């Protein structure tokens, strides 16, 4: 008798790439359905106030020290890195304009969002993941409460509201940090620091950064809650969900920063064409 040999196809790079693409598409579709269900609850009924107040304290108040430290040192680092180049051109008094524009347009919103993704996003994902593993989410359903309405909606609303406010705090503290280091250490005149900051920073710049931070907050909360709701079993699953929440949030923040930045610039040019001098 001749033996029949069974051969299995080898897992090639193409197979791995295709599997990754399919998994990514499925993840995006599941995230969209998760967000759609959450928006449905937001339209029909708001969550209990007690949940909102708790989330505001946990996400907003407890994040202030991190934002203060991050914003202050960002401003001082910008002062250190910019001063020598400006001094070569005898423009060191204009360093305040560079620090302020960099903070309100890019560094303030992006770095504040990344810090909050690490502190708030991983915390939400780990908390909801633990509730999933210990079957507390199933217990909520058994009691007649919808877990998305009770757990996700308060966190989403709080992030959308407070992360833009925390971004404003980061911008202000960063500008003050740059002012302190520039005037007290580098010898820049305080009058010129504030003069050029006010001259080159427009309301359009500040509002653009706040506008971006709103979407950053929405993406952080949505991704973190989604990963917590779909975490694996055991402590390893909770840790993996927290890691994925930060990594995915970081990637989405970078993509949104680029797309929103392009959109804001094009909108500014369009408004300047239609209403010259109005948008400043």
Residue-wise DSSP of 236-263: HHHHHHHHHHHHHHHHHHHHHHHHHHHH
The pTM for the full model equals 0.85
Model confidence over 226-275: pLDDT tens digits?
888 888 777 788 888 888 889 999 999 999 999 998 888 888 878 778 77
The answer to whether residue 3 is domain-embedded is no
Number of domains in the chain: 1
Residues whose CB falls within 8 Å of the CB of residue 85, separated by 6 or more in sequence, listed in order: none
The answer to whether residue 7 is domain-embedded is no
* CB-CB contact of 243 with 189 (8 Å): no
Residue 200, helix vs strand vs coil: helix
Residues whose CB falls within 8 Å of the CB of residue 192, separated by 6 or more in sequence, listed in order: 93, 94, 96
Neighbours of 182 (CB within 10 A): 27
The answer to whether residue 142 is domain-embedded is yes
**Residue 156 structural domain:** 13-274
The answer to whether residue 269 is domain-embedded is yes
pLDDT at position 254 is 93
d(C-alpha 121, C-alpha 104), whole Å: 23
pLDDT above 70 covers what percent of the chain?
Answer: 95
Model confidence over 145-199: pLDDT tens digits?
788 888 888 889 999 989 899 999 999 999 999 999 988 888 888 888 898 888 8
d(C-alpha 184, C-alpha 189), whole Å: 9
The answer to whether residue 280 is domain-embedded is no
The answer to whether residue 34 is domain-embedded is yes
d(C-alpha 30, C-alpha 226), whole Å: 9
HSE-up (13 A, CA, CB side) for residue 81: 9
The answer to whether residue 8 is domain-embedded is no
B/e letters for 31-59, b = 16+ CB within 10 Å, e = fewer, are beebbeebeebbeeeebeeebbeebbebb
């Amino acid at each position: 008798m001749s033996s029949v040999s069974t051969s299995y196809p080898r897992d090639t790079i193409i197979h791995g790439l295709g599997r990754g693409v399919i998994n990514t598409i499925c993840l995006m579709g599941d995230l969209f359905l998760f967000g759609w269900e959450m928006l449905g609850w937001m339209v029909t009924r708001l969550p209990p106030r007690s949940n909102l107040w708790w989330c505001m304290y946990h996400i907003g108040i407890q994040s202030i020290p991190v934002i203060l430290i991050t914003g202050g040192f960002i401003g001082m680092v910008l002062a250190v890195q910019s001063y020598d180049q400006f001094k070569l051109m005898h423009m060191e008094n204009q360093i305040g304009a560079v620090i302020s524009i960099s903070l309100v347009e890019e560094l303030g919103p992006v770095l504040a969002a990344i810090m909050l993704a690490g502190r708030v996003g991983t915390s939400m994902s780990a908390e909801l993941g633990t509730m999933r593993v210990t079957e507390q989410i199933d217990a909520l359903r058994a009691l007649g409460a919808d877990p998305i309405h009770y757990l996700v909606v308060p966190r989403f609303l709080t992030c959308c509201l407070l992360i833009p406010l925390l971004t404003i705090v980061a911008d202000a503290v960063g500008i003050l940090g740059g002012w302190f280091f520039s005037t007290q250490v580098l010898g820049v005149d305080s009058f010129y620091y504030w003069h050029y900051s006010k001259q080159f920073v427009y309301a359009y710049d500040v509002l653009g950064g706040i506008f971006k931070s709103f979407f950053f907050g929405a993406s952080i909360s949505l991704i973190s809650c989604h990963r917590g709701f779909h975490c694996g079993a055991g402590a390893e699953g909770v840790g993996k969900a927290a890691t994925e929440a930060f990594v995915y949030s970081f990637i989405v923040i970078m993509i949104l920063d680029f797309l929103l930045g392009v959109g804001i610039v094009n909108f500014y040019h369009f408004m300047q064409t239609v209403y010259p001098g109005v948008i400043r």
